[in-house]
Amino acid sequence: MLTIRGKANNHYCDHLSRREFLQIGGLALGGLSLTDILAAEAQSGIRSSHKAIIMVFLPGGPPHQDMFDLKMDAPSEIRGEFKPIKTNVPGIEICELMPRVAKMMDKFTIIRSLVGARDEHDATICLGGYSAQETRQNHAPCLGSVVSKLYGAVDKTVPPFVGLSVKMGHMEWADSGNPGFLGMEYNPLKPEGPLMSDMTLNGVTLDRLSNRRQLLSSLDRFRKGVDELKGMDALNQRAFDLLTSSKLVNALDVTKEDPKVRERYGKGDNKNVDDGGPCWNDQFLAARRLVEAGARCVTLGYGRWDYHNDNFKQCKAYLPKLDQAVSALVQDIHDRGMDKDVSVVVWGEFGRSPRINKEAGRDHWPRVSCALLAGGGMRTGQVIGSTNRFGEEPDDRPIDYKDVFATLYHNMGIDINSTPVMDEQVRPHFLLPGHDPIPELI
Amino acid sequence: MPSSIPSQNIGVCTVILAAVSLLISSSPAEAKPTSASHLQVIPQKIVLRGPYSETRVLVDQQSKAGSPVEVGASSVMSILNPKVAVVDDEGIVRPIGNGKTELVVKYQGLDSKVPIAVSGVMKANSPSFLTDVMPVLSKAGCNQGACHGAAAGKGGFKLSLLGYDPDWDYDAITRSSGARRIARAQPDNSLFLLKPTMGVVHRGGMRFKTDSASYRILRDWIVSGLSGPKSNDPHVVRLEVSPAVRSLKVGNAQRFAVKAVYSDGSQRNVTSETLFSSSDESVATVSADGDAKVVGQGEGAVLVRYQSVVSTARLISPYGPPKTASKVSTGKKYEQTAQSSIDRLIQAKLDALGLQTSGTSSDSDFMRRASIDTIGLLPTPTETRAFLADHDPKKREKWVNSLLVRSEFVDNWSMKWGDILQSSRQKLSEKGVYTFNEWIRQSVDENKPWDKFAQELILAQGDVYEYGPANFYRTAPSPQELAETTSQVFMGVRIQCAKCHNHPYDKWTQNQYYQMAAFFARVQVKRQNESVIYLSNSGEVTHPKTQLAMIPAALDAAPLAKDYHGDRRVVLAQWLTSPQNPFFAKSVVNRVWKHFMGRGLVEPVDDLRVTNPPSNSALFDYLAEDLAAHHFDLKYLMRSILLSHAYQREARSSNGNERDSKYYSHFLFKRLSAEQLQDALTAATGVPEKFAGFPAGMRAEQLPDNSAPSYFLDLFGRPARLSSCACERTDAPNIGQVLHLMNDSGINTRISAPAGRVAGLVKTKVPDNKMVEELYLGALSRYPSPEESRRSAQVLASAKNKELAGEDLLWALLNSKEFLFNH
């Protein structure tokens, strides 16, 4: 396990990735060019092997007892309408509306005793482990920002942190992650708005752009011999690369994928569900493509799960879609040999009340909820924790959101507990003190 | 045993390589040091009193030519009678038994001996908690933020961060968790000793061995009865590092010895318990034990920390052969101006570092540079033509003088002060921003002395919608935040860390933090509509640990008299702006200096502390004193900088000074700020940008705050104005900026607008070379060179559509580094 450990000035003792090894090897052999190294990497399949996380947020707080923790022995006002089905792991049963996940349960871990939520309708806690309230006070950065800061980009034309959540009626659900005290530089790239429009040519043909580029390089007075500005030259080069053949734009374009694969994910719908997000299965595929292109963290918000009324009707409508998207993504990750490197987490900001209300809905329930985890080299095919017979509280092994984040950082090769994360004023912060990776998973 | 091979796990291949290189390079002259050299062992006499005393031995190789080189790490050291003392690989001599002996040092055929005298070692020794035990815990890293010093502790054991609270630590070690950590009957079975030596599982790993000095101290402490911290124990007041300054070459090593001086006047060698770090790892690296290695050129500081006290030593690694300081007359013979003093002090530093200067910038570069820095605008083509045609030898001075009285000066500098004073709608509401900005603009306009500026803010009260400076109190709503903001804005001192524990890289204590905050304890905001700042008759700031009301005291100043009943802020304002405050003048000097010169004498610009030494302290001291002597007249300071040779040097590096980015041997490239760049685009294209919510024609530099939605300004680093840290505004380039300049439809439209510069020139049918000239003057504030003129005119002449070709030419100029940067 490669691990970043704490040393005040951002030196990582034993952090030598395969990528670096290849570069060192290249130097030792008498100086391969960067292109050579990239080609060698592509050949050896190293490109897809960087550690990454895909975080699926279910806005509104999904009903844990109707998905992964069915309480068949509870009275009818608690039990709900759905039946459990067997999975391919003996002893683990989940909701009948998720047959695809059930068939590959050996590739998932369910946490049934997730605690630490607040009654807040924000994505924040699912992005960095701290509630919205806590984050307002400590300005803790989200995981994607921290990973961007500690690791930087894999590929210079693909940002390390991409947020796919679209605009939603309830804006707190559309949060893609906040860099907090790390500063704007570590914001997720959101492939929308001005940036996306800057990445495709605006009213200028490719020919004219290449004319302009020639003119620019022939006229620039500081084009040669100014060391300080070499970084700018590299940026210019990358910008032209992006404008002429955009890797990022390609990664986002799921039509470039084999249609069969896209069908397996189920394309979904890019229309928002009420004030929540869309059930847009294509985004799961885009997330995988982005990771392959070099992203380290991709976040997305899927559907709307705040079922104060018609809980069962809505579950019937949306759970099967989620089942398809999640199962396809995790299967795909395994098929491509990325399961040791890419973690997937699916969860919401809290659980839902055991008692079914008059509108056949369930209300907010921050005391316990569920999380679904896969990949990342974690031990899967297990259930961690349990709740009491009505699904009200953890019965054993309460797991905090922050514990899950400590685990996700661990999967990324970061010992977050003892790695100082520097803010803009170069003050060290220790994120998630007192929270360790979940031993059952590592 | 010390070894001459630096690394222990050296591979076979490396050894063979080393042997080969020896064969190649060994010429008789280089193989052995010249006979003229000899060893100088420091200290020349080792006296060890008491069982825990120690001394680090430094070995200087003195040769006739050049400065001495410390060779302790490669020397072989031994002690004649090992029953009296021992010496370890780090060159630290420790006592074993009372008596006398000698230390023998050998290095490359040279040797030297120094006497050792040991006394005061007894059978049973009783270490003191404060002076013996705590330093062991610090050095072993037990109380660091990543370990038991974390806010939540680690594994159920919590120590105060870097040992700032010895009482807490004593309690945690000896009493908490049912006193399970200490086994007095069987000291070696104490968890306190088993954990760090991995006698039982310890997630923090092995911290020291059972045969180490550290172990011995902790064990003796348990055996002798766990003496606790006493309030009258002497505390460390100062650290002395030797050598304090050393000039070395890349590849040289250097060891340091540290002596602590206590409040009772006693001294003690504390090298092995001192924490070492480097201020600039591109100049020198330093191991935790204090072995420094010079890895690059420049000047670096080695930072030492022992028991909450910090100090530094300097390492100088010249770029080229240093010059002996050029004799500049300090007498009355020549008129001494501020600018000549600046140049003299910079030259002295450059000479010491063996750095050459770049030449003087061209007239057009200077003119553009001074204009952007002073008023935030490009010079107009008319101004440029007139300036270049002027043959007055004093024309640069005339230009500077004219810039300092321009109305746009107010825009540029109000923007700067508005940033750090957090003038934003989010904090002050629209009305508040308006009055606050009016006051800032008025102050800049009348060149209000900086001390008066600070005093007005600190003493402000009244209706924030009528009296501008009162808004200062709404940007930081609590006494604690006001103390932080005031310290950072006006002193460049970041005391935030001391809110929860003593400052880990500075000298500020938690007490001092709350004493600072206590000045603001009685400032109130009228709750009704949050618009009136007033003082109440009561209100205190309490210390979070002791819950005691804090008596106000400025940093390192005497506390307020008990019978003082007036406005506490008056005392603070007086102290803040008095010449005795070492930070006030320096803080603003550093900000202004950085604004013009591209790099602060201290970086980050608002982080002045002992452990962050300036790149040229003589210059820094001079500028601060000179500003105070000139009644904090900022325009005076700006003028001095603008007229110095240092400011007027070429940006292009030459004569081997390209590696210098700290000592001002050449001008530093600076990217235009977001607002300056937006206004420069307006000037170059002839098409202004309209900001939603503000009148047409208002320039970016004139915006009162950041409320105008602008992707461009955000992308290029406009700050949110929610923090007093200058770091909030960033000029870091990123790919989004480059893409935007190249391809934004808005900018493309401005380039090709019918009312724009290109269309205008085509319409009036100016000749090609004239059109090129106009575009160059508009975007780059200079004439094109004959070659540029020829090539560009050719592009225009050969184009089917002259307008399109003109647009492409302007596009290329706007995307050039020359446009994007101030140079």
Tens digits of residue pLDDT in B358-406: 999 999 999 999 999 999 999 999 999 999 999 999 999 999 999 999 9
The verdict on A111 and A32 lying in the same domain is: no
- Contact call for residues B377 and B403 (beta carbons, < 8 A): no
The verdict on B164 and B247 lying in the same domain is: no
Residue B783 has pLDDT above 90, yes or no: yes
Structure tokens at B737: 């900026």
- Residue A221 sits at the chain B interface (C-beta within 8 Å): yes
Residue B64 located in a structural domain:
yes
Q: Do B739 and A195 touch (CB under 8 A)?
A: yes
Q: Do A222 and B788 touch (CB under 8 A)?
A: no
Identify any residues that bridge with B275 across adjacent strands, giving them in sequence order.
B305
The verdict on A257 and A393 lying in the same domain is: yes
The verdict on B654 and B512 lying in the same domain is: no
Helix (H) or strand (E) holding A35: helix A34-44
The verdict on B552 and B600 lying in the same domain is: no
The verdict on B690 and B804 lying in the same domain is: yes
Distance CA B437, CA B646 (A): 33
Query: Looking at chain A from residue 89 to 108, which residues have their Cβ under 8 Å from any Cβ of chain B?
Result: none
- Residue A425 sits at the chain B interface (C-beta within 8 Å): yes
Burial class (CB in 10 A: 0-12, 13-18, 19+), A225: exposed
Instruction: State the Rg of chain B over Cα.
Output: 32
The verdict on B432 and B559 lying in the same domain is: yes
What are the C-alpha distances in Å from B204 to residues A313, B177, B201, B309? Answer: 52, 19, 9, 25
Residue count of chain B, please give it: 823
Residue A421 located in a structural domain:
no
- Residue A377 sits at the chain B interface (C-beta within 8 Å): no
Q: Comparing C-alpha atoms, which of B93, B452, B105, B411 is closest to residue B257?
A: B93
Q: Do A220 and B809 touch (CB under 8 A)?
A: no
Q: Which of B534, B562, B577 is the last residue of a domain?
A: B577
Residue B283 has pLDDT above 50, yes or no: yes
CB crowding B487-500: b at 16 or more within 10 Å, else e: bbbbbbbbbbbbbe
Cβ neighbors of A112 (< 8 A, separation 6 or more) are A64, A68, A69, A368, A370, A383, A384, A385, A386, A387, A394
The verdict on B663 and B678 lying in the same domain is: no
Phi, psi of B262 (to 5 degrees): -100, 165
Residue A146 located in a structural domain:
yes
Distance CA A242, CA A206 (A): 12
Residue B230 located in a structural domain:
no
Residue A431 located in a structural domain:
no
Question: Side chain identity at B317, as an amino acid letter?
Answer: S
Distance CA B46, CA B87 (A): 12
Please give the biggest Cα pair distance in chain A: 80
Give the angle subtended at the CA of A412 by the CAs of A4 and A433, to the nearest 5°.
65
The verdict on A98 and A141 lying in the same domain is: yes
Q: pLDDT band for A29, please (50, 70, 90 cuts).
A: very low
Range with lowest mean pLDDT among A52-61, B1-10, B338-347, B636-645: B1-10
The verdict on B424 and B569 lying in the same domain is: yes
Q: Which of B547, B577, B607 is the last residue of a domain?
A: B577
Q: What is the CATH number of the domain that holds B103?
A: 2.60.40.1080
Residue A434 located in a structural domain:
no
Residue B727 located in a structural domain:
no
Q: pLDDT band for A159, please (50, 70, 90 cuts).
A: confident
Query: Looking at chain A from residue 148 to 177, which residues have their Cβ under 8 Å from any Cβ of chain B?
Result: 157
Which residue, among B202, B650, B816, would best test binding to A if mutated, counting the most A CBs under 10 Å from its CB? B816
Distance CA B176, CA B610 (A): 36
Residue A412 has pLDDT above 70, yes or no: yes
My answer on whether omega of the bond before B784 falls inside 30° of 0, hence cis, is no
Residue B333 has pLDDT above 70, yes or no: no
The verdict on A144 and A227 lying in the same domain is: no
The verdict on B429 and B540 lying in the same domain is: yes
- Contact call for residues A353 and A364 (beta carbons, < 8 A): yes
Mean pLDDT across the stretch B163-175? Answer: 93
pLDDT of residue B21: 37
In 3-state terms, what secondary structure has residue A343? strand
Number of structural domains in chain B? 6
The verdict on A183 and A221 lying in the same domain is: no
Residue A24 has pLDDT above 70, yes or no: no
Distance CA B299, CA B369 (A): 28
- Count CA within 13 A, CB hemisphere, residue A207: 2
Residue B6 located in a structural domain:
no
Residue of A nearest to B157 (CA): A434
Residue A352 located in a structural domain:
yes
Residue B4 located in a structural domain:
no
Residue B787 has pLDDT above 70, yes or no: yes
| From A226, A231, A235, residue closest to B652, measured CB to CB | A226
Which residue, among A158, A187, A197, A216, would best test binding to B if mutated, counting the most B CBs under 10 Å from its CB? A216
Residue B380 located in a structural domain:
yes
Number of structural domains in chain A? 3
Per-residue pLDDT reduced to its tens digit, A288-319 = 999 999 999 999 999 999 999 999 999 999 99
Residue B792 located in a structural domain:
yes
Percentage of chain B lying above the pLDDT 70 cut: 94
Distance CA B788, CA A27 (A): 40
Within 8 A of A434 by CB-CB distance, chain B residues are 150, 152-153
Range with lowest mean pLDDT among A53-57, B163-167, B688-692: B163-167
Residue A240 has pLDDT above 90, yes or no: no
Distance CA B412, CA B372 (A): 9
Query: Looking at chain A from residue 188 to 217, which residues have their Cβ under 8 Å from any Cβ of chain B?
Result: 193-195, 197-199, 201-204, 208-209, 211-212, 215-216
Task: Give the distance, in angstroms, between the CA of residue A80 and the centroid of all CA atoms in the same chain.
Answer: 31
The verdict on A233 and A323 lying in the same domain is: no
pLDDT of residue B6: 38
- Contact call for residues B600 and B377 (beta carbons, < 8 A): no
Mean pLDDT across the stretch A408-429? Answer: 88
The verdict on B426 and B554 lying in the same domain is: yes
Q: Do B661 and A228 touch (CB under 8 A)?
A: yes
- Contact call for residues B806 and B775 (beta carbons, < 8 A): yes
Q: What is the CATH number of the domain that holds A56?
A: 3.40.720.10
The verdict on A295 and A159 lying in the same domain is: yes
Q: Which of A187, A216, A245 is the last residue of a domain?
A: A245
Structure tokens at B465: 């919608």
Question: Side chain identity at A272, as an amino acid letter?
Answer: N
- Residue A242 sits at the chain B interface (C-beta within 8 Å): yes
Within 8 A of A433 by CB-CB distance, chain B residues are 150-152
Name the minimum distance, in Å, from the CA of A153 to any CA of chain B.
12
Q: Which of A214, A245, A276 is the last residue of a domain?
A: A245
What are the C-alpha distances in Å from B746 to residues A244, B155, B702, B810? Answer: 20, 57, 21, 15
Q: pLDDT band for B35, please (50, 70, 90 cuts).
A: low
The verdict on B260 and B272 lying in the same domain is: yes
Helix (H) or strand (E) holding A95: strand A93-95
Phi, psi of B380 (to 5 degrees): -75, 160
Residue B668 has pLDDT above 90, yes or no: yes
Residue A422 located in a structural domain:
no
Structure tokens at B8: 């222990």
Q: Which of B280, B301, B317 is the last residue of a domain?
A: B317
Question: Side chain identity at B750, as an amino acid letter?
Answer: R
Which residue, among A195, A221, A247, A432, would best test binding to B if mutated, counting the most B CBs under 10 Å from its CB? A221
Token pair 């009036």 in the structure block, residue: B764
Per-residue pLDDT reduced to its tens digit, A35-88 = 333 333 333 333 446 999 999 999 999 999 999 999 999 999 999 999 999 999
Question: Side chain identity at B718, as an amino acid letter?
Answer: R
Residue A268 located in a structural domain:
yes
Average pLDDT value for chain B: 89
What are the C-alpha distances in Å from B12 to residues A257, B9, B26, B328, B643? Answer: 51, 10, 21, 56, 60
Residue B723 located in a structural domain:
no
Distance CA A382, CA A372 (A): 11
Per-residue pLDDT reduced to its tens digit, B509-561 = 899 999 999 999 999 988 776 689 999 999 999 999 899 999 999 998 999 99
Cβ neighbors of B589 (< 8 A, separation 6 or more) are B601, B620, B623, B624, B627, B637
The verdict on A261 and A364 lying in the same domain is: yes
The verdict on A189 and A210 lying in the same domain is: no
Question: Side chain identity at B539, as an amino acid letter?
Answer: G
Burial class (CB in 10 A: 0-12, 13-18, 19+), A27: exposed
The verdict on A90 and A169 lying in the same domain is: yes
Name the residue range of residue B114's domain: 12-119
The verdict on B783 and B692 lying in the same domain is: yes
The verdict on A209 and A257 lying in the same domain is: no
- Contact call for residues A183 and B725 (beta carbons, < 8 A): no
Report the predicted TM-score, pTM, of the whole model to 2 decimal places. Answer: 0.80
Q: Comparing C-alpha atoms, which of B739, B754, B738, B757 is closest to residue B806?
A: B757
The verdict on A166 and A307 lying in the same domain is: yes
- Contact call for residues A104 and A328 (beta carbons, < 8 A): no
Name the residue range of residue A240's domain: 201-245
The verdict on B423 and B562 lying in the same domain is: yes
| From A157, A183, A220, residue closest to B818, measured CB to CB | A220
